[in-house]
Structures are given as structure tokens and as C-alpha cells.
Amino acid sequence: MGIVNVTPDSFSDGGRYDTLESAVEHGRELLDAGADILDIGGESTRPGATRPFVAEELDRVVPVIRELAAGGALVSVDTMRAEVAEAALEAGARIVNDVSGGLADPRILDVVAGSEAAYVAMHWRAHADRMRDFTDYSPDGVVETVRRELGERLEAAEAAGIPRARIVLDPGLGFAKEPHHNWELLQQLDVLAGLGCPLLVGASRKSFLGTLLRHDGVPRPVGEREHAHAALVALLADRGVDILRVHDVRATRDALAVAAAMKGPA
Ligand code: PMM
């Protein structure tokens, strides 16, 4: 899944693709590099970000989705809002990627249920301006707690009428998580796979990679985390992850090719 952030303020690529032309061109580049899915988002979820108005979010994503879907791309919309999900589906999106797992705007579950779309439910606890206050995973630890809380979101989605076969789960790396929480979740993805749905993982350019690579106490800047991410992708190849949400599709494809070659002929 290649990322197209149509936002002025994303932590990783804010402002680079915030016009229709640049976003569509970027989407096409990601497809050429081997993306199977394009994830189009109009709201930055970086820690501390403030939310755009609904009209702003709609203006950002709908034209980009319409154009890329019309060109034959499998498009996902990255939104927490029912209204945006509905407009995106009308414009041709076939996946709703909801980082809040239905908590921010529960009506989004009804919108997806009333469509044929797939639904990505990510583990989430609070909006970006407050998520740093929600990193306590005691007493059970992050893996067990995320499994339980994601399980609740899965139940809510099914109760709203979304069949389990259309639901994908995501540990939500970096969302109300300290760096060590992200590593524990990555180490024990099998626990989340036990919930019985495909898994999506989004680690690309995230700050826990920057923290890992810090030098003299300074985290590695966002644009210089790609090699570490490619190494992670290669190591995740055998861990039952179904969808990787990434900025650099080519590096991801290369890492997967290396991992496949090391496994030997099928
Ligand atoms: N991360 C971001 C945005 N959307 N969606 C899913 N399903 N999983 C993620 O980990 C995720 C997401 C934030 O990263 P970005 O600003 O680089 O898009």
C-alpha cells in the first residue's frame, strides 16, 4: 500500500503532494514502483496535529481518489470521518482505512457496512493532539492490551454489519505508543493475527525508527529512515503481515524480493 498524503502538514511528506496534480502524479509513480493499493489521506495524524475541517478534507481527497480510481487503481481512503468515507466510496475508493477503528466517528462503520468496501481498523486511543497522554498499557502490557482493544473494534465493526471477511486489523504503530511499544507489537504480531483477520502494518518513516538510529541523542531525521524500514520489511516478510503501508514502494519491493530469494524456490 503506497501512501499519498494530500496534506500540508504530514510529518513525513507534508506539503509535497497537496495539489491534485502532484498527488495524482505521485500515486501513478507509486503504482509504477509496484504498489497494489494507493492510500489517499487528507488529515495528518502526526502527534500534536490539529484536525482539518470536513470540507477541507473532502476537497483534498475526493478529486485525487476520483482520478486515480478512474485510471484503474485500487484506492483506499485514509479517514476517520463517515462523511469523507462516503464521498470517497462514491468517487471510487474500495477500502476505508480508519486509523480510529470506528472510535472517532462510529457512523463510519455503517457507511462501510452499506457498501462493498474493505475496512481497516487500526488500534487508536485518542486524536493526535492528545495521544501522548494515552501510552499507559499497564497492567497487561502493550501486546495483550492492543489485542483486547482491537478485538473490541472488530466486534463493533461486525455488529455494525461489516462481515469479518472484509476487515483488516492494524496495531497502529506510533499512535499512543512509546518506541518500545512499537517494537513489542512488531515482535509479537502473531498475537494480533490470532484475532483472525489479515494484518496491515505501517512503520514507514515513523519516529520509533528515528529513535532507534539516534546519534549523540539526536533522532535520525524523517527522510533518513528508509534503510532501517527496508530491513524491517525484509524481517516482516515471514510474519504474516498482509499489507505494508509505505512511502517508498520501490525499497519495499526490493526488500521483499530479497526476503523471497533467501527463502529459496517455492
Ligand atoms: N499511519 C499514519 C496514517 N495512517 N493508517 C494505518 N492503517 N496505519 C498506520 O500506521 C497509519 C495510517 C501516519 O503516517 P503518515 O503520516 O506517514 O501517513
Total domains in the chain come to 1
- Is 153 a known active-site residue? no
SS3 call for 40: strand
| CA pair distance 232, 242, nearest whole angstrom | 15
64 vs 15, 43, 77, CA distance in Å? 15, 14, 10
Cell triple for residue 179?
518506541
pTM over 0.95: yes
| CA pair distance 12, 4, nearest whole angstrom | 11
pLDDT at 11 > cutoff 80: no
Instruction: Compute the C-alpha angle 180/186/187, nearest 5°.
Output: 90
* CATH number of the domain to which 177 belongs: 3.20.20.20
Phi, psi of 47 (to 5 degrees): -50, 130
The residue whose CA has the least distance to atom 13 of ligand 1 is 45
* Distance from residue 100's CA to the centre of ligand 1 (Å): 11
Mean pLDDT calculated for residue range 108-117: 98
User: Containing domain of residue 143, as a range?
Assistant: 2-263
For residue range 147-176, list pLDDT tens digits in order: 999 999 999 999 999 999 999 999 999 999
| CA pair distance 253, 35, nearest whole angstrom | 9
pLDDT at 8 > cutoff 90: no
Q: Name the pLDDT band for 9 (thresholds 50, 70, 90).
A: confident
**Residues 123 and 172 sit within 8 Å (Cβ to Cβ):** yes
250 vs 135, 177, 201, 226, CA distance in Å? 33, 28, 17, 11
**Residues 6 and 58 sit within 8 Å (Cβ to Cβ):** no
pLDDT at 14 > cutoff 70: no
- Is 206 a known active-site residue? yes
The amino acid that residue 39 corresponds to is D
- Which atom of ligand 1 is nearest the CA belonging to 3? 18
Contacting residues for 253 by C-beta, under 8 A, at least 6 apart: 33, 34
Mean pLDDT calculated for residue range 207-233: 97
- Which atom of ligand 1 is nearest the CA belonging to 11? 16
CA quadruple 138, 104, 48, 247: dihedral, nearest 10 = 100
With CA atoms as reference, report the closest residue to 264 among 231, 229, 238.
Answer: 238
For residue range 56-88, list pLDDT tens digits in order: 999 999 999 999 999 999 999 999 999 999 999
The residue whose CA has the least distance to atom 5 of ligand 1 is 99
The residue to mutate among 38, 81, 122, having the most atoms of ligand 1 within 8 angstroms of its beta carbon, is 122
